[in-house]
Structure 1
Amino acid sequence: MLVYIILINIVSFLIMVIDKRKAKMHKWRIAEKRIWVLAIIGGALGATVGMHLFRHKTKHKLFFIGLPFLMFLQIGLLIYWKISLS
């Protein structure tokens, strides 16, 4: 589980980096739907860090509010899961 969480967040972070570079070069972009799918399946932390670090999609209220909310929700669920296993 830990390996999955690490990998999905790395992928989500890299997707934000790649999409920002493509935006600057006016090239084909990564669909917002794809970014949301990665965030929902566990990559919200990576997507949120990428969003803030590269100032990408910060003007989109849904991303600016939704990704951090999803990130905190996922962290809370992980903590709950870890405590319930103990």
Structure 2
Amino acid sequence: MNAPGLSLADRFWIAHRWAAFALGTVFLVGVIVASIAGRIRPHYAWAYALMSNLAFLAYGLDKSAAVADRWRWSEKSLHWIALLCGWPGALIGQHAFRHKSRKASFLFFTWLASAANAAIFAHLTGFYRWSWQ
């Protein structure tokens, strides 16, 4: 993927967007599959699905508002949605809408919220103790 004219920074951001999209998608699918398989309670899958959809919608609406110079979602609101189980949708929304994907301080807190939520999820579900045999 050596596109002529792309700087190293541009290649990094392209790779970041794809990695964020893939991570969000894989986690969401994994939670749904684990719920169907009876490994976790269904309310976890519902929480992630609903909050991820809300986050995705918020990113889309915020991008649309940014282009049209209208009222915007606050960054704090977007971070709270991500922290409250919406981080997969936030990462997917960043990629899909190319929104909030270059501001380093925003990305730092998005990834921090993602890691914190994933750690809490792993603790609550005992994910680290699972045996798939």
Q: Under TM normalisation by the shorter chain, which class is it? A: 0.7 to 0.9
How far apart are 1:50 and its partner, in Å? 0.6
1:78 shift after superposition: 2.1
1:79 CA displacement: 3.1
Partner in structure 1 of residue 106 of structure 2:
63
User: Structure 2 matches for 1:20-31, cutoff 5 A?
Assistant: 20-31=63-74
Output aligned runs, 1:1-86, within 5 Å: 1=43, 2-83=45-126
Q: Indicate the SS of the match to 1:8.
A: helix
Question: In 2, distance between residues paired with 1:37 and 1:74?
Answer: 11
Q: CA deviation at 1:52?
A: 2.0
Structure 2 unaligned regions, length at least 5: 1-42
| 1:24 Cα deviation from its structure 2 partner | 0.7
Q: Distance in 1 between matches of 2:83 and 2:126?
A: 22
Q: Give structure 1 regions of 4+ aligned residues with deviation exceeding 4 angstroms.
A: none
- Secondary structure of 2:98's counterpart equals coil
The offset of 1:60, in angstroms, is 1.6
Larger Cα Rg: Structure 1 or Structure 2?
Answer: 2
What is the CA-CA distance between 1:46 and the residue it aligns to? 0.9
CA contact (8 A) 2:59 2:93 kept: yes
| Identity within the alignment, % | 24
Instruction: Please give the TM-score of this superposition, normalised by the length of structure 1.
Output: 0.80
* Alignment root-mean-square deviation, CA: 2.1
- Higher relative contact order (CA closer than 8 Å, sequence separation 6+): 1
The number of residues matched between the two structures is: 86
Letter in 1 for 2:113: L
Q: Is the 8 A contact 1:45 1:68 kept in 2?
A: no
Q: Which stretches in structure 1 are left out of the alignment for 5+ residues?
A: none
TM (norm. structure 2) is 0.56
Question: Which residue of the partner structure matches residue 4 of structure 2?
Answer: none
